[in-house]
Copies of this chain bind each other. A is one copy, B any other.
Amino acid sequence: MASRTRKTPETRRAEITRAAAHLISRHGYNGISLKDVADLVGMSQPGILHYVGSKEGLLSLLVTDIYDVNGTPEEFVQTGLPGSDPTHPRLPAYFDYLVEHNAGRPELTRLYTVLQTEAIAPNHPLHDYFIRRPDSVWEHYSAFPWKLPDGLEWERDMRDYVRMSLEVMDGIQIRLLRKPEIDYVQEWRRFGNLLFPSPTWDDCR
């Protein structure tokens, strides 16, 4: 019989989210069972439920993780990186930051990509969350005083840029699912150069 090891709720929760992220980012929410998570953590199925309440509760844990961790503009304007001046932050610089951020968290990025697709099912626990996402992201971004090239205005002109940039990231991330060894940052830069070309954007990148 396995020796019963008891750990603090914090470490256990961390172990569980870690294991769940690993499994779900590969198999999707529908592709795993609580038993799979339990086995990977090294405890029993009800042991997991003690922490997450239900299978859906497991997802909630992950989402808050994703949400907290995802490189936000708030985070960016505090980095002091080029283009991160809080009074005139620059969108291309932020996107570079975002991509580097996600490239450094491949597991969470995988998870996000997998869940985003799985969640188009109307009965998926995260359906509403992901449906709202593009709009809420736009609103979120809109709160920042981005510096734009002369003649371009946020509300009028930047919806396309933002939407296309996020589409590109999604596309690259799909490719990343199959070939994790490809260089996300480098691939993104190719598109960044197309989307924000010289000389228009030279001062705003």
* A interface, CB within 8 angstroms of B: 26-28, 30-31, 113-114, 116-118, 120-124, 130-131, 134, 160, 163-164, 166-172, 174-175, 177-179, 187, 190-191, 194-195
Interface centre among A26, A120, A160, A190 (most CB of B within 10 A): A120
Q: Is the interface of A mostly helix, strand, loop or mixed?
A: helix
Q: Which of B31, B131, B194 touches A121 (beta carbons < 8 Å)?
A: B31
Copies in the complex: 2
- A178–B134 Cα distance when bound, in Å, is 10
- A26–B127 Cα distance when bound, in Å, is 11
Contact B117 A114 (CB under 8 A): yes
- A164–B171 Cα distance when bound, in Å, is 9
Q: Which of B31, B167, B168 touches A30 (beta carbons < 8 Å)?
A: B31
